[in-house]
C-alpha cells in the first residue's frame, strides 16, 4: 500500500477511539431523530393505508354528497337520504346497497364513567361480518336488532365488559342501554387506531344516533360480472347531481390521506428537533476536531516536514470525520428504529393502538440519514482540517511556532458580519414574512442558525472577561471558591483558552437559547390569553366535551339547558367552514341574543343581536382587509355549495373566543343539513339564582351526557392554560436532548483539557494540591463554561423570543413578557450541567500518578 492517508486516517481514529466515541454519540442522537421520523411516518402510514384498504372491504362504489370546496376527507358533507339507496338498488349491476352511518357516541364503563379514548368514539351501522365494510366479528354475534351492540375488543376490555353484559351508551340524544352481544375488529388493530367503535344494526343506528333516515354515505357492491365503470355511470345517472359516486379505493385513500397528513406533521416536528440536535452536535464535533488537531500539532508538522502536502493533511482530518460520521449514521439509523418503536409503544400505552406495523427503513431514510449525519460531521470538521493544513513543518521542532497557525483571528469581523446577516434574515422572516409559511419559517430558521454561529464566533472575544466576571459574581452561594486556589485555577483555566471555552459554551447556548425563546413567547401568549379571557368571558359556565374528546357536544345538551329556569342566557358555539369572497374561513355560529351576555367581543360597531336576524359579525382585521363595515354585504359559499350574500351586522375587536367570523345559529342551520355538534356551550345564571343552585341544575343534565365537562370561569381558564402547558412540556422535553448533547460536549472538552494538562496536574499534586482540590478546580471550570453558555443562551434567546412575540398578530399576543423564573432555572440548569459534565474528567485527573504525570511531555 503506497497511500498513507487512509492508513493514517484510520489509525488516527483508532488511537482516539474514546474521544471520538463521545462525538459519535452526539451525531447518533441527531441522526436517530431523522431516521426515527422517517421510519415512524413510513411505517405508520403504510399500516394506516392497509387498514383503510381493509375497511373499504367489499365496497365497490360509494355515494356521497358533493362539496363545493375543501379537503375531500375532512369536508362536512350533507347526509344522503335512505330513498337514494332505494333508487340505486334498482340500477342494473348493483347487487347490494348499505347505509354508512357514523356518529359520536360514548361508552359508559362498568364504573359509570365515560370511556376515555385517544381517538374518536363512534357509533356505527354494521350489517355484520357479511356486510360490505371490512370489519370482522372477533367474538360472539353481531348486533341484529334493537337493544344489541358489539364493541371493539380494546374498548370492551378497558370499559370492563364481557359478552352478555348490559352497556350504557350515550348518543346524540342521550343515554341508552344495550346488551353486548359480541366484539368487532378492525384490520390488524385491537381497536380502530385508538377509536372506540360501537356497532348497531342499521335501523337501531338510525334511531339511536338520530340520523332521521339519512346516511353519511351509501356503500354499493356490484353484481357478479358487472363492469364497475358502467355501474358507476348508471348510478350517477339515476340520482341527483348533488351526490357523487366514487370508488371504494378512492374513498379509502382519501380517509387514509387525511390521517397521513397528521402523521406527517408529527414527523416534521421530529425532524425539527433533529435539526436542533444536529446543529448542537456540529459544535461538539467542531470542538473535538479542533482540539484533536492542536494536540497533534507536532505529529502533523512532522508529516508536513517529511513531505505530506497541505491537502494530504486536510484529507486526513476530513477522512477521520468521515469514518466517525459513517459509524455514527449507521448507529443512528438503528437508534431511529428504536425511537419509532418507542413512540408507537408510548402511544399504545395510552390506548392509541396503532395498527401493528413492521418497521420500514426505506432507501430515502438511509439516504437522508447519511446526508445529514455525514454532512454535518464533515462540515463541522472542515475548519479544523483547514487549520491543520496550515501548520508549518517547522512546528515539528518548535511547536510554539505552530500554534499561531491555529489561532488566526478574524473572528470579530466574521462573527459580526454573520450575526448581522442572521439578524437580517431572521427579521425578514419574522416581520416581513415574504411568501408562504414554509419559506418564511425557513428564512427565520436560517437567520437563527446564522445568529447562533455569529454569536458563537463573537463569544471567543468575550470568553475570557466573561469567565472572569462569572467567577466573580456567581460564587455568592459558593463563596469559598473565589478565594481558594482551586477556585482561582478553575477560573483561570476557563480563561486560558477562550476559543475552546467559547465553542464549548456555544453548544449549550443553542439549547438554552431555544428554551429562552420558547419561554418568552409562551409566557407572553399565556398572559395575553389569560387577560383576554378574564376580560372577555362573562359566562358563568362553560360546558365542553372535556379535554379527552374533540368530537363536540350533542346539540340536545344546549336545548335542554335552554329550558332550565336557573339559567339566563345560553348559547352554543358551533362552527363550519365557508368561502368568503373565495377564501376558506372558519365560521362560528352562536345565538346572538345570548352570546352578547356570555362573551365580551369588544363590539366596535353594529349589534350582536343582528346575528339572529341573519346578519354576520366579523373581526376588525378581516373587515379592514375586505373593506367592509356594517351594512355592507359579503358573498359566502358554504361547503355543500349553497351560496349566500350576508349583510355585515357588526364589527368587533376581541377574537380570543369568537374567532374572526360569526353568524347566527339559524343561518347555519338553514344552509346545512349535516348534523351539527357544539364546540362548547356558554351559560349565565338567571337573576336571583345562586351559582351553586345553578351548577346543581346544570350537572343534573350533564349526567345524561357523561363526557360533558361543566366548568366555571376559573376552571375554564385553568383548563385552557393546562392544554397550553402540556404543549410546552413536550417542547421543553425535546430541547432537553439538545442540552444533553451539550453536556457531552462540555465533558469532552474537559476530558481533553485534563489530558493536555497532565504535566501541570502532576506538578500541582507534587506541590501539595489534594485530589479533592484538583477535582474541585475542574468542576469549577466546567461550571464557569456552562454558565457562560447559559448567559449567551439567554442573551440570544430572549431577544429572539421578544421578536417572535412582537411579530405575532396582536389579537393573539399583545405584550412581551420575560419569564424570570424560567431564566433563573436556566442558570441553575447550567450549574448542574457543569457539575455533571465534570464528574468523569475530574475523577480521571485525580487518578493521575504524580510521578508519571510530571515526566510526561
Partner 1 sequence: MSETATPTLTAAASAEDAFKIYGKGDSEVRALDGVTVTFDVGRFTAIMGPSGSGKSTLMHCLAGLDSLTSGTVRIGDTDISQLSDKALTRLRREQVGFIFQAYNLIPTLTALENIRLPLDLGGESGDQSWIDQVVDAVNLRDRLEHRPSELSGGQQQRVAVARALASRPRIIFADEPTGNLDSRTGTEILKFMRRAVSEFGQTIVMVTHDAVAASYADRVVFLADGRIVDEMTEPTADRVLDRMKKLGN
Binding positions for partner 1, rule: CB under 8 A = 1-4, 7-8, 11-12, 14-15, 298-299, 302-310, 312, 392-394, 396-398
Q: How far is the CB of 853 from partner 1 (least distance, A)?
A: 17
User: Could you give the CA distance from residue 563 to residue 543 in angstroms, rounded to a whole number?
Assistant: 16
Nearer to partner 1, 64 or 304 (CB): 304
| Cβ proximity of 559 and 552 under 8 Å | no
**What's the min distance (Å) between Cβ of 253 and partner 1?**
58
Quick one: 319 or 819, whose CB is closer to partner 1? 319
Least distance from C-beta 293 to partner 1, angstroms? 15
Q: In this complex, which beta carbon is closest to partner 1, that of residue 3 or of residue 90?
A: 3
| Distance, first Cα to last Cα, the chain | 32
Three cell numbers, residue 389 = 493544513
Among 130, 150, 123, 125, CA closest to 138: 150
Q: Give the residue with the Cβ less far from partner 1, 300 or 598.
A: 300
Q: Of 680, 663, 354, which is closest to residue 549 (Cα–Cα)? A: 680
Q: Which residues of 689-725 are buried (b: 16+ CB within 10 A; e: fewer)?
A: beeeebbebbeebbeebbbbbbbeeeebbebbeeeee
Q: How far lies 26's CA from each of 324, 331, 378, 508, in Å? A: 11, 11, 14, 13
Whole-number minimum distance, CB 844 to partner 1, in Å?
20
In the bound complex, what is the minimum distance in angstroms from residue 299's beta carbon to partner 1? 6
What phi and psi, each to the nearest 5 degrees, are found at residue 514? -65, -40
Nearer to partner 1, 396 or 558 (CB): 396
Nearer to partner 1, 8 or 685 (CB): 8
The helix (H) or strand (E) run that includes residue 274 is: helix 248-295
Task: List the one residue out of 5, 1, 750, 752 whose CA is nearest residue 389.
Answer: 5
Residue 394 CB, nearest approach to partner 1 (Å): 4
Task: CB nearer to partner 1: give 7 or 815.
Answer: 7
Query: How many residues can be counted in the chain?
Result: 857
Place of cell 369572497: 581
CB of 374: closest distance to partner 1 in angstroms? 23
User: 10 Å Cβ neighbour count for 847?
Assistant: 8
Please name which of 67, 73, 47, 69 lies closest in space to residue 252, comparing C-alpha atoms: 73
CB of 315 to partner 1, least distance (A): 12
Nearest distance from residue 766's CB to partner 1, in Å?
23
Query: Which of residues 308 and 370 has its CB atom nearest to partner 1 in the complex?
Result: 308
Closer CB to partner 1, 312 or 604, in the complex:
312
Compute the least distance from the CB of residue 774 to partner 1, in Å.
27
Shortest CB 383 distance to partner 1, Å: 19
Q: How far apart are CA 779 and CA 770, in angstroms?
A: 14
User: Which of 787, 822, 820, 816 is CA-nearest to residue 800?
Assistant: 816
Element containing residue 70 per DSSP (H, E): none
Q: Which is nearer to partner 1, 298 or 492 (CB)?
A: 298
CB of 322 to partner 1, least distance (A): 17
* 497's grid cell: 483558552
**What is the DSSP secondary-structure string of 537-600?**
B--SEEEES-TT--S-EEHHHHHHHHT-TTEEEEEEEEEEEEEETTEEEEEEEE-HHHHHHHB-
Residue 401 or 421 with smaller CB distance to partner 1: 401
Residue closer to partner 1 (CB basis): 15 or 727: 15
Question: Distance between CA atoms of 799 and 730, rounded to whole angstroms?
Answer: 23
Per DSSP, which regions of 679-802 are E strands? 680-685, 709-712
- Residue 420 Ramachandran class (φ > 0 left, ψ -120 to 50 alpha, else beta): alpha
Q: Which is nearer to partner 1, 352 or 752 (CB)?
A: 752
Nearer to partner 1, 299 or 621 (CB): 299
CB of 308 to partner 1, least distance (A): 5
Q: How far is the CB of 15 from partner 1 (least distance, A)?
A: 5
Cα Dmax for the chain = 104
Count each helix (H run) and each strand (E run) in the chain, helices first: 26, 26
* DSSP one-letter string for 223-262: PTT--HHHHHHHHHHHS-TTEEEEEHHHHHHHHHHHHHHH
Q: Which helix (H) or strand (E) holds 768?
A: none
Output the CA torsion 618→622→624→625 (10° steps): -150
Q: By C-beta, is 313 or 333 nearer to partner 1?
A: 313
Closest to partner 1 by CB, 308 or 778: 308
Return d(Cα 415, Cα 300) in angstroms, integer: 28
Amino acid at each position: 500500500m503506497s497511500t498513507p492517508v487512509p492508513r493514517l486516517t484510520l489509525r488516527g481514529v483508532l488511537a482516539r477511539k474514546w474521544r471520538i466515541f463521545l462525538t459519535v454519540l452526539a451525531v447518533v442522537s441527531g441522526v436517530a431523530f431523522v431516521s426515527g421520523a422517517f421510519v415512524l411516518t413510513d411505517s405508520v402510514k403504510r399500516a394506516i393505508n392497509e387498514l383503510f384498504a381493509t375497511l373499504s372491504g367489499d365496497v365497490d362504489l360509494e355515494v356521497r354528497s358533493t362539496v363545493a370546496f375543501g379537503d375531500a376527507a375532512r369536508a362536512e358533507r350533507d347526509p344522503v337520504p335512505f330513498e337514494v339507496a332505494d333508487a340505486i338498488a334498482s340500477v342494473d349491476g348493483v347487487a347490494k346497497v348499505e347505509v354508512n352511518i357514523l356518529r359520536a357516541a360514548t361508552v359508559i364503563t362498568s364504573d359509570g364513567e365515560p370511556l376515555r379514548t385517544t381517538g374518536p368514539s363512534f357509533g356505527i351501522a354494521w350489517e355484520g361480518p357479511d356486510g360490505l365494510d371490512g370489519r370482522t366479528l372477533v367474538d360472539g354475534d353481531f348486533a341484529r336488532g334493537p337493544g344489541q351492540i358489539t364493541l371493539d375488543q380494546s374498548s370492551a376490555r378497558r370499559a370492563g365488559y364481557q359478552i352478555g353484559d348490559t352497556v350504557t351508551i350515550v348518543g346524540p340524544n342521550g343515554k341508552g342501554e344495550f346488551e353486548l352481544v359480541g366484539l368487532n375488529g378492525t384490520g390488524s388493530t385491537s381497536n380502530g387506531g385508538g377509536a372506540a367503535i360501537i356497532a348497531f344494526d342499521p335501523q337501531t343506528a338510525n334511531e339511536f344516533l338520530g340520523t332521521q333516515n339519512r346516511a353519511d354515505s351509501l356503500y354499493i357492491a356490484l353484481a357478479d360480472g358487472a363492469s364497475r365503470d358502467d355501474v358507476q355511470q348508471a348510478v350517477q345517472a339515476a340520482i341527483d347531481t348533488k351526490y357523487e359516486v366514487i370508488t371504494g379505493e378512492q374513498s379509502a385513500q382519501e380517509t387514509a390521506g387525511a390521517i397521513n397528513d397528521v402523521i406527517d406533521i408529527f414527523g416534521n416536528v421530529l425532524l425539527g428537533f433533529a435539526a436542533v440536535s444536529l446543529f448542537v452536535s456540529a459544535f461538539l464535533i467542531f470542538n473535538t476536531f479542533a482540539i484533536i488537531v492542536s494536540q497533534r500539532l507536532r505529529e502533523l508538522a512532522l508529516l508536513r516536514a517529511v513531505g505530506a502536502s497541505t491537502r494530504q493533511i486536510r484529507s486526513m482530518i476530513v477522512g477521520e470525520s468521515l469514518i466517525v460520521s459513517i459509524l455514527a449514521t449507521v448507529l443512528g439509523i438503528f437508534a431511529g428504529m428504536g425511537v419509532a418503536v418507542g413512540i408507537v409503544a408510548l402511544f399504545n400505552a395510552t390506548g392509541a393502538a396503532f395498527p401493528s406495523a413492521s418497521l420500514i427503513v426505506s432507501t430515502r431514510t438511509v439516504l437522508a440519514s447519511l446526508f445529514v449525519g455525514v454532512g454535518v460531521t464533515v462540515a463541522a470538521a472542515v475548519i479544523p482540517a483547514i487549520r491543520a493544513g496550515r501548520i508549518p513543518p517547522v512546528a515539528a521542532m518548535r511547536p510554539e511556532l505552530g500554534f499561531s497557525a491555529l489561532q488566526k483571528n478574524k473572528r470579530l469581523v466574521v462573527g459580526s458580519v454573520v450575526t448581522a446577516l442572521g439578524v437580517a434574515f431572521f427579521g425578514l422572516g419574522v416581520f416581513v414574512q415574504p411568501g408562504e409559511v414554509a419559506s418564511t419559517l425557513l428564512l427565520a430558521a436560517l437567520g437563527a442558525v446564522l445568529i447562533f454561529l455569529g454569536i458563537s464566533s463573537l463569544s471567543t472575544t468575550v470568553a475570557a472577561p466573561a469567565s472572569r466576571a462569572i467567577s466573580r459574581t456567581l460564587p455568592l452561594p459558593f463563596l469559598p471558591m473565589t478565594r481558594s486556589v482551586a477556585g482561582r485555577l478553575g477560573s483561570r483555566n476557563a480563561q486560558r483558552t477562550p476559543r475552546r471555552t467559547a465553542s464549548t459554551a456555544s453548544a449549550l447556548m443553542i439549547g438554552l437559547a431555544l428554551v429562552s425563546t420558547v419561554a418568552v413567547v409562551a409566557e407572553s401568549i399565556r398572559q395575553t390569553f389569560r387577560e383576554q379571557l378574564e376580560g372577555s368571558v362573562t359566562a358563568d359556565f362553560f360546558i365542553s366535551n372535556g379535554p379527552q374528546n374533540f368530537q363536540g357536544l350533542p346539540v340536545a345538551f344546549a336545548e335542554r339547558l335552554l329550558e332550565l329556569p336557573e339559567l339566563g342566557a345560553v348559547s352554543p358555539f358551533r362552527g363550519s367552514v365557508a368561502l368568503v369572497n373565495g377564501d376558506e374561513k372558519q365560521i362560528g355560529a352562536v345565538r346572538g341574543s345570548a352570546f352578547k351576555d356570555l362573551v365580551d367581543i369588544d363590539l366596535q360597531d353594529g349589534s350582536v343581536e343582528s346575528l339572529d336576524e341573519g346578519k354576520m359579525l366579523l373581526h376588525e382585521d378581516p373587515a379592514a382587509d375586505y373593506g367592509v363595515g356594517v351594512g355592507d354585504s359579503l358573498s359566502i359559499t358554504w361547503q355543500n355549495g349553497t351560496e349566500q350574500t350576508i349583510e355585515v351586522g357588526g364589527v368587533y375587536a376581541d377574537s380570543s373566543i369568537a374567532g374572526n367570523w360569526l353568524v347566527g345559529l339559524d343561518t347555519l342551520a338553514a344552509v346545512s343539513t349535516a348534523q351539527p355538534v357544539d364546540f362548547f356551550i356558554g351559560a349565565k345564571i338567571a337573576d336571583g339564582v345562586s351559582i351553586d343552585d345553578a351548577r346543581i341544575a346544570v350537572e343534573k343534565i350533564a349526567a345524561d351526557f357523561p363526557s360533558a365537562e361543566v366548568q366555571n370561569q376559573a376552571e375554564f381558564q385553568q383548563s385552557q392554560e393546562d392544554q397550553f402547558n402540556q404543549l410546552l412540556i413536550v417542547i421543553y422535553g425535546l430541547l432537553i436532548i439538545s442540552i444533553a448533547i451539550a453536556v457531552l460536549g462540555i465533558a469532552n472538552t474537559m476530558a481533553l483539557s485534563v489530558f493536555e494538562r497532565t504535566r501541570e496536574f502532576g506538578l500541582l499534586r507534587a506541590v501539595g494540591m489534594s485530589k479533592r482540590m484538583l477535582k474541585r478546580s475542574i468542576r469549577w471550570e466546567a461550571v464557569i463554561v456552562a454558565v457562560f453558555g447559559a448567559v449567551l443562551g439567554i442573551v440570544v434567546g430572549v431577544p429572539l423570543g421578544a421578536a417572535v412575540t412582537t411579530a405575532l398578530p396582536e389579537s393573539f399576543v399583545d405584550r412581551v413578557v420575560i419569564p424570570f423564573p424560567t431564566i433563573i432555572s436556566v442558570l441553575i440548569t447550567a450549574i448542574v450541567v457543569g457539575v455533571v459534565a465534570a464528574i468523569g474528567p475530574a475523577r480521571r485527573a485525580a487518578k493521575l500518578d504524580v510521578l508519571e504525570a510530571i515526566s510526561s511531555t
